[in-house]
Chain A
Amino acid sequence: MRGLRYAFVLTATAFMPLAGQRPLTVTGIQSLTFGTLLPGMPSVVSRTDAVKSGRFDLGGPHDTQGQVTFTLPSVLTGPAGATLPLSFGGSDAGYSQSQNIGSQVGFDPNQPFLITFSGQGRGSIFLGGTARPAPIQRAGSYTGTITLNLTAFP
């Protein structure tokens, strides 16, 4: 019976921390928008650009850590399958525990990054990048999908 009692204690220890905590969430808030481009003229969007930068809001257990990774497109796709090269530099992503675009810690979106949720179990990721239309880039609208993956460490 003593063994059984220990088992119940261990079981409770394993599950108790999850009770009442915020679930893990990732919400796409704002698209990364390059606006109007001209062929042959690169366009850079800063992660601190409140209008054009991409934004994800994160939720999770307060004061815990999680790992974020991006699935980033290397091109945007446009009319008749035309592609527009897209790149992300070593500091094009930023994390803000306070969800304030003016208070970010920059990181490389091409690498996993460890975040710590705020005391309220929140945080935001901001993303910039560079679009490089070719000199003979076909006119039209181009789009791509950026996915942020969040894994928690309870």
Chain B
Amino acid sequence: MYTASKAAFATLVLALVAAASVRAQGVNGSISATATVQSPITVAGAQNLAFGNVFPGVAKTVAYSDATNGGRFDVTGQGSTPVTYSFALPTNLTSSGNNLPIGSWTGYVNGANSTSGGSAITPSATPAGASLSAGGTLFFFVGATVTPANNLPAGSYTGTVTLTVSY
């Protein structure tokens, strides 16, 4: 009887240990959390579109490929990433309430700072799409034509060309 009781007690202890080990049972699993941070886009007006001196009644054109007078925007962002761009273009340059019409916009976009190896664009026909270079650069070149009236008053005429770029 004594032996049987000891055996019973031992079995009971084993049972409790087993139950306790079951109670402590736990499992786990994992997932990933992920994010991709892009470089922010920057747009810098690098060079003004400059017509210099113009004369009443004489239209003047500056080509986008004019390295000295053509307008240029420098864009940086995430490499090899598509972007959407659009231009806000003036229809006149102004001076003291006088208007100098501007139009016939031409343009060029390239991943490199060059007017070759890229694509011709029509600034007045945007939004449009382009892609940043592998190095995260994009260059826009802009040209246009001004048409001074025969009676255009002398003065310094200015206008603003705005380029907006977004992912």
Contacts and interface: CB of A to CB of B under 8 A. Distances in A.
- Chain A partners chain B: yes
Interface of A: 1, 3-8, 10-11, 13-15, 18, 24-40, 43, 54-56, 71, 73, 76, 78, 84, 86, 127, 129, 131, 133, 137-154
B77 to A, nearest CB: 9
Contacts of B9: 3, 7
Interface of B: 1, 4-5, 7-12, 14-16, 18-19, 22-40, 78, 167
Contacts, number: 158
B38 A54 contact: no
Given A7-B11, A36-B38, A139-B39, A147 B33 contact: no
Interface centre among B10, B19, B36 (most CB of A within 10 A): B36
Contact of A54 (B26, B33, B167): B33
Contacts of A38: 37-38, 40, 167
A14 B30 contact: no
A86 B25 contact: no
Contact of A7 (B7, B27, B33): B7
Contact of B26 (A11, A24, A37, A73): A24
